[in-house]
């Protein structure tokens, strides 16, 4: 499955993931001023429907939009894609980079070790 979202599409998906269902007016309300034009949001929603990421139900002349992909699925896809692109599909190279370059505290490193140990025990 290939999931590719533009930054603008990600903003809309974040709104839909949070609200679960939203009409166009609900989506527009979330944006800061200057708000995007309704036609811009409609175009983005149409593109996202074409990618099978967003669905809708019709209520009279209005559409209530909802996400067709869970946030966790998208996040997992993004992480896997990043590890593939930057770390030759090597999770251990990613972990090495992450732990040596993210200025983790001793406590955070211990917590990571506990998470890994817990996964090993499963």
pLDDT of residue 95: 83
State whether 114 and 60 are in the same domain.
Answer: no
pLDDT of residue 110: 87
CA distance 97 to 116: 16
Instruction: Tell me the per-residue pLDDT of 89-118, one tens digit each, with 9 for 90 and over.
Output: 888 888 888 788 778 888 988 888 888 888
State whether 78 and 104 are in the same domain.
Answer: no
State whether 74 and 117 are in the same domain.
Answer: no
State whether 10 and 68 are in the same domain.
Answer: yes
CA distance 82 to 98: 12
Instruction: Tell me the per-residue pLDDT of 34-68, one tens digit each, with 9 for 90 and over.
Output: 999 999 999 999 999 999 999 999 999 999 999 99
The kind and range of the H/E element at 75 are helix 71-87
State whether 122 and 99 are in the same domain.
Answer: yes
State whether 81 and 96 are in the same domain.
Answer: no
Domain span at residue 114 reads 90-122
CA distance 56 to 68: 9
Q: What is the pTM of this model?
A: 0.76
pLDDT of residue 1: 60
In the chain, the number of structural domains is 2
pLDDT of residue 108: 86
pLDDT of residue 104: 81
Those residues whose C-beta lies under 8 Å from the C-beta of residue 94, and which sit 6 or more positions away, are 82, 83, 86, 87
Domain CATH number, residue 81: 1.10.10.10
Residues in the chain: 122
Which residue has tokens 């370059």? 101
State whether 69 and 94 are in the same domain.
Answer: no
């Amino acid at each position: 499955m290939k999931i590719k979202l533009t930054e603008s599409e990600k903003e809309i998906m974040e709104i839909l993931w949070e609200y679960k269902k939203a009409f166009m007016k609900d989506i527009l309300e979330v944006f800061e001023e200057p708000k995007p034009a309704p036609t811009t949001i409609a175009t983005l929603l149409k593109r996202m429907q074409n990618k099978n990421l967003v669905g809708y139900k019709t209520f009279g002349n209005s559409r209530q939009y909802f996400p067709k992909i869970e946030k966790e699925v998208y996040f997992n896809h993004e992480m896997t894609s990043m590890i593939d692109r930057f770390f030759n599909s090597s999770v251990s190279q990613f972990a090495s980079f992450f732990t040596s370059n993210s200025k983790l505290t001793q406590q955070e490193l211990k917590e990571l070790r506990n998470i890994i140990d817990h996964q090993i025990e499963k």
